[in-house]
Amino acid sequence: MRFISLLTTIAVTAWLALPMQAAEADQLKSDLVGQCMGGREKCWRFQSADQIKELVIKNKTQDAQKRVYVLALKLQAAANANEKYAAEARVEYRKTGAAWTIKQVGLLSMKKVE
């Protein structure tokens, strides 16, 4: 009986966390617009949230002044382009006053996919 109760508690907690994760992913997409990741060799400029076809938060760490995300991204160059990419990025936020702002978007990997 305790096992079923434990499973139910875990399932309910996971179900309640999904909307928060989705909202956090949507906020990340919005914050990335206008940002650039990478350097001279490989660079991606986020021109619109529509370019981000999928965003998965792989890891998140946070302290009082810094928040760091490691993200898995599926990107598309333009709405009518066939070029699609899989990327991994490290996004660092800093607390400025009461708000969190992006300090850096680091490109960890990016490859063209079919």
What's the structural domain count of the chain? Answer: 1
Could you tell me the pTM of the whole model? 0.76
21/50 Cα distance (integer angstroms):
18
Residues with Cβ within 8 Å of 84's Cβ and at least 6 positions away in sequence, in order, are: 53, 74, 75, 76, 77, 112, 113, 114
Contact 5, 17 (CB under 8 A): no
37/19 Cα distance (integer angstroms):
27
pLDDT above 80: residue 15? no
Token duo for residue 79: 């709405």
Grade residue 33 by pLDDT with cuts at 50, 70 and 90: very high
Q: What is the CATH number of the domain that holds 25?
A: 3.10.450
Mean pLDDT score, 77-82: 74
Mean pLDDT score, 70-89: 89
* Residue 76 belongs to domain spanning: 2-113
pLDDT for res 16: 43
